[in-house]
Amino acid sequence: MVPVLSSPLVSWRRLAVGALLLVTACQTAPPVTVDAKFTAAPALSAPDDRKTAVVAVLPVEDGTPNAGAARLLTMMRQELERQLIDRLYSPLTSQTVDAALRGTGKPAPTESLLAPANLQKMAGHAHEDAVFAMRIVRWDETRIATTSRVQFQFQAAMVGRDGVPLWNGTIQGEVKAGGAGPAPLDNDGKARSCASLAITEMLQRLPRRTVR
């Protein structure tokens, strides 16, 4: 049997295709790119700190133009509660928090829930140790169908039951649905995946409770 030899032209084409694939792989954007600035009170990192064990997570505030993240607010609140457990906090249920806050009133339309006066007004009603609040400043799904990516900006704060600030700051950037793995096929699934990843990036900046 006579072996089939590749022509120089075929070999060159294979090399060119391989080089193109290598360059494309090197140019692929990372799945997560963020810029975060948060400040934590020293007491939040104290060993065996029981003062911040039980946390009331407030409803997530949509501060985007035209309520662009409205359909994700409940999911994001649930994700905050779930991921706070990973940081060794004990979040109260949404139902418990909402029931305790009935009658406290809502911020004025021109005010943010994260304003110090508003956070102080929300603290201490559910017998919690701390209150956690998050505001969505930007949520851009313009390219989610083609790139599976969302650009976002969150503001977040935690205050003690006495209203004293414990942790606050801002995170912004871009996340890809599915992270380094494949993204969900539908746009809603992509948006939910991006929301979960963005919250993960934010809570990684929250000091983990150290319990002995």
Which among 196, 204, 188, 205 is positioned nearest to 77, based on CA atoms?
Answer: 196
The amino acid present at 75, given as its one-letter code, is: M
Residue with tokens 């590749």: 6
- C-alpha distances (whole Å) from 92 to each of 51, 105, 125, 132 are 15, 20, 12, 11
Give the per-residue pLDDT at 152: 98
Q: Per-residue pLDDT for 153 more than 60?
A: yes
Q: Per-residue pLDDT for 176 more than 90?
A: yes
CATH domain 30-203 topology? Rossmann fold (3.40.50)
Specify the higher pLDDT residue, 4 or 62: 62
pTM of the predicted model, to two decimals? 0.84
Give the per-residue pLDDT at 106: 80
pLDDT 10s digits, 77-98: 999 999 999 999 999 999 999 9
Domain residue ranges in the chain: 30-203
* % of the chain exceeding 70 in pLDDT: 84
Specify the higher pLDDT residue, 168 or 65: 168
Across the chain, which distance is largest between two alpha carbons, in Å? 89
